[in-house]
Amino acid sequence: MTEGLQLSWWLIGAYLALMLGVGVWFRRRVRSVEDMAVAGRHSGVWLIAFSVAATWINGTTLIGISALGADFGLDAYWSGGSFMLGTIWIAYFIIPRLWETGVITIPELFGRCFGPRHRIVSLLLVILRDMGVTAGTIGALTLVTTAVLGISVAESLLLWLGVTSVYVFLGGMWAVMATDAIQFFIILAGSIAVLVAGLAAAGGLGGLSAGLDPALIDIFGRAGVTQVMAWIVIGLAITGAYQGLIQRGFAAKSADVARRGFLYGGVIASIWYMTPPLIGIVARTVYGPDLPAEDAFVTLAFGAAGNELASLVVVCVLAASMSTLSSTINTIASNFTLDLYARFIAPTASAVRQLWVYRLNVLLVGALAAALYLALPLLIELFWIGGRIMGASVAPALIGIVLFPSLRQAPRTVMAAMLIGATVQAVWQTFGAIREVGAVVIIWELDPILVGLPLTILILWIGARLETRTGGRNAAA
């Protein structure tokens, strides 16, 4: 479907040069680890809003949810839209409170409340999720660019990962958020262009309606109510402790700026998230039910758009992927630097040394994520595999200690909840019954998140009551 397309390497090259230029420009603002991790806490509302939206709109969701749309229709909206509901919720109840703590990473908060063991455990669980997102995003970039540009997997990894790592290496969170704002509008233009071109190829709305499979427009259709509910729970749970997202709140000038930035970004992205399922539905209608779902986005984009829009589509995929890739690379590098190196390995290291260790960790994280993608290339499941574990362990614990002061007095309960929740989740993901293996996602008989998360919440609720009651009696004695 991509044969004969005349791509503008000038446009692609200009985009990459712009991203590198942003990194070079903001290098002058980076003088400390805090500048690298949270942009010196000087960001405004709209920079945060567009950065939040661009972070959620990534290559994995653009391509993967388009594939889900081709497979399961409008059901696919909930696999991404649920994260936006979570974003709007934490904008009001979680982000302002977290900003006021002054922490830079989520494990830092666990360490402050409970000590080093909780910091290490939460660190491992947070990194597990973020590394999966990083690897899945690399996969989305590789899938499209190898097919369209005719380059090898190795060349794709070196080119896109290299450019992203360099501008994060130079400008840290400043560069991440500034490029996010630019990339958001590129993503918006490219994805809408694909959808409009696809509708034209289908013969307009009338032609689309005539050839449409009715099952695809049922919001709780072929995937089933249980799986859709699981996707919603996954979105709400993962968002509650998505450190790459939450650090944008830490970058705000004030708690109110953080709240409004997340609210606006969540609303913007929740509207956009109808686009990928519709692209998948249109692709299936235009090219028939035999179209492999994982090829839905690429086939429609380059079959319907043609030469005029092909270069814009490529840049759109690059922007969607690199916005998230830069975020997760920067976030994990902050974990390696602040939660491991500065806390346990070299607590007396100078600020300059910590900054250079941070930058070297940016390069290390990129290499590790590339290796993970090569080992496990199933896009959406790669995005969710660590997310389910983190969402059933760290996320409820974090929300609990933010909203319920009594839980901060129950360190054993919090540790047990995180470990048991993560273990049950991992075991269920390994041995749970699978109903269907789709092109990019697994449909479970009972999704693991519906087992692990309720168990963790139950442990936190009962354990905190028992531990604080026992502690109170011991103190009285």
> What's the pLDDT band for 158 if we cut at 50, 70, 90?
confident
Q: Are 3 and 299 a contacting pair, CB within 8 Å?
A: no
User: Lowest-confidence range among 248-257, 361-370, 380-389, 431-440?
Assistant: 380-389
> What's the pLDDT band for 376 if we cut at 50, 70, 90?
low
How far apart CA 236 and CA 229 sit, in angstroms, is 11
Question: What does the pLDDT read at residue 437?
Answer: 67
Residue for token pair 């009972």: 446
pLDDT of 326 strictly over 90: yes
pLDDT of 2 strictly over 70: no
Mean pLDDT, residues 206-216 taken together: 79
Structure token digits, residue 210: 């005539």
Question: What does the pLDDT read at residue 477?
Answer: 42
pLDDT of 380 strictly over 50: no
How far apart CA 384 and CA 40 sit, in angstroms, is 31
Mean pLDDT, residues 44-49 taken together: 96
Question: What does the pLDDT read at residue 303?
Answer: 80
Question: What does the pLDDT read at residue 431?
Answer: 83
Give the DSSP letter string of 292-318: -GGGHHHHHHHHHSHHHHHHHHHHHHH
Question: What does the pLDDT read at residue 388?
Answer: 82
When the pLDDT of each residue in the chain is averaged and rounded to a whole number, the result is 87
> What's the pLDDT band for 294 if we cut at 50, 70, 90?
confident
Question: What does the pLDDT read at residue 208?
Answer: 82
Question: What does the pLDDT read at residue 476?
Answer: 41
> What's the pLDDT band for 374 if we cut at 50, 70, 90?
confident
Give the single-character DSSP code of 343: I
pLDDT tens profile 77-94: 988 889 999 999 999 999
How far apart CA 302 and CA 283 sit, in angstroms, is 11
Question: What does the pLDDT read at residue 318?
Answer: 87
How far apart CA 252 and CA 255 sit, in angstroms, is 7
pLDDT of 196 strictly over 50: yes
Among 272, 207, 360, CA closest to 66: 272
Mean pLDDT, residues 339-362 taken together: 96
More confident residue, 251 or 445: 251
Query: Domain-by-domain residue ranges, the chain?
Result: 9-364
How far apart CA 16 and CA 252 sit, in angstroms, is 27
pLDDT tens profile 461-476: 999 999 988 764 444 4
Among 251, 245, 242, CA closest to 35: 251
pLDDT tens profile 110-153: 999 999 999 999 999 998 888 877 887 787 778 777 877 778 88
CATH topology of domain 9-364: Sodium/glucose cotransporter (1.20.1730)
Q: Is pTM, for the whole model, over 0.85?
A: yes
